[in-house]
Structure 1
Amino acid sequence: APVAVPPPVVPQAARVQISGNASTFAQVNDFMLLIERSPFFLNSNTRLIAATLKDATPFRVRNQGASAEVPKPRPVVDYKIETTLSPTGASQLLSELRSKQADGLAIRIETLQEKGVLEPQQAEVKKP
């Protein structure tokens, strides 16, 4: 009788949710575009989950005797962005890590390559 061979296991790309706040919706849009252009993420899977304009946390005045008027803080945009990490290997991103001044991580990857734990990658990664 034929033996059933299980299908190969395809590793799932890691999903990442980034949340924070910005001064404007335009800043959130700029940040999303930056993420989409990054070789560290898959640009096709980046999406805005939420963006809400909220009042900023009010200031607390310590010196009650001061007559200076405290300015009202501007509203902020709370946002959540979901994206997927790029499947590109870390050793393939060495030049990108160096350009982002992530020297410590780049040195660790190079050390692992020298010790034979990681294979050096010669191919240059280009983002479409």
Structure 2
Amino acid sequence: MYSLDVNFLKDRPAYQKKPERKGGIALKFPTGNFTPVYVGVALGVGLPALLGVAWWLLQGKIVELEGTIAQLDQESKRLDTEIGNLNKIKTETNAIKGETQALVTVFDQIRPWSAMLQDLRDRIPKAVQIKSIKQIAPIAVAAGQPPNNPAGGLEITGLARSFNDVNDFLLSLQQSQFLKSTETRIITAGLVNAPLSASVGQPLNGVTIKPPQVVEYTIQSSMNDVPASELIRELEKKGTVGLVTRIRSMQQIGVIPK
């Protein structure tokens, strides 16, 4: 037979072995996932650093932009000065162009009397005489209306053998390049005694010679307002060499269009 020897004293608390201490306090660390902790620490440390770096870069950019703005302000002032000078030069140039154009316009409206008198000599019929030629004020087309031609007009008076001769002279003047055909007309025409010399007018053997009758006329016309540069050929035919030379010189430099 076997006998069981059970010692129940070892199970009592008094007999339990206590753990041995090895000279220190034992620390117990929590266990589990530490990632949120690490992220929080990284954000707490890194975010202020990033903000500091960003602020430093922003300050540098602001200083750079302020320098650029100052430079642009100086450039803008310089450009404003140059624009003002250019506008002044442009204004002076336009004034000079205006004065030049005014002078050219006046020059281009010149009608040499030598050319006009030569034109009249070429057009007068043989049976017509001219007593006087004078320049008159611009002729008004209709009563109460201002004249449309500031160049003025001509008034020609003289004698003709007949009314037909006066009409022929009128038609010839209406073909002139220096006069306006629509404003060339007969103002007066009537029969008068032909002027005789003193020797012819004396009675001969008691007989008085009666002078023949002729037509005394007055013709008025307006000068043509076509520029002289468009009458170069006609001026050349009438021998106006000086004016033609000047006009062609101005055409070469572009002051007067060709």
* TM-score normalised to structure 2 length: 0.35
Matched, 1:33 2:184: no
Give the one of 227, 230, 244 matched to 1:110.
244
Q: Is the 8 A contact 1:59 1:73 kept in 2?
A: no
Q: Is the 8 A contact 2:193 2:214 kept in 1?
A: yes
- In 2, Cα distance between equivalents of 1:49 and 1:35: 14
- In 2, Cα distance between equivalents of 1:59 and 1:72: 12
Matched, 1:90 2:228: yes
Once the 2 structures are TM-superposed, how far is the Cα of residue 31 of structure 1 from its aligned partner? 0.7
Percent of paired sites with the same residue: 30
Q: Deviations over 1:73-97 (max 9, x none)?
A: 4222111111111011222212123
- In 2, Cα distance between equivalents of 1:54 and 1:110: 43
CA-atom RMSD in angstroms: 3.0
- In 2, Cα distance between equivalents of 1:11 and 1:33: 21
Matched, 1:119 2:256: yes
Q: Is the 8 A contact 1:91 1:109 kept in 2?
A: no
Equivalent residue of 1:16, what SS? Answer: strand
Equivalent positions of 1:1-128 (< 5 A) are 12-61=150-199, 72-99=210-237, 102-103=238-239, 105=240, 107-116=241-250, 119=256, 121=258
Q: Deviations over 1:33-71 (max 9, x none)?
A: 011111111111112110011001233228x9x98x996
- In 1, Cα distance between equivalents of 2:257 and 2:162: 42
* TM-score normalised to structure 1 length: 0.66
Structure of higher CA gyration radius: 2
- In 1, Cα distance between equivalents of 2:196 and 2:160: 16
Once the 2 structures are TM-superposed, how far is the Cα of residue 115 of structure 1 from its aligned partner? 4.4
- In 2, Cα distance between equivalents of 1:50 and 1:11: 22
- In 1, Cα distance between equivalents of 2:166 and 2:247: 37
In the alignment, which residue of structure 2 is the partner of 1:6? none
- In 2, Cα distance between equivalents of 1:90 and 1:33: 23
- In 1, Cα distance between equivalents of 2:149 and 2:158: 29
- In 2, Cα distance between equivalents of 1:59 and 1:115: 51
Change (3 A) 1:70 1:60: farther
Equivalent residue of 1:29, what SS? Answer: helix
Per residue, is there more strand in 1 or in 2? 1
Change (3 A) 1:61 1:37: same
Structure 1 unaligned spans of 5+: 1-9, 122-128
In the alignment, which residue of structure 2 is the partner of 1:126? none
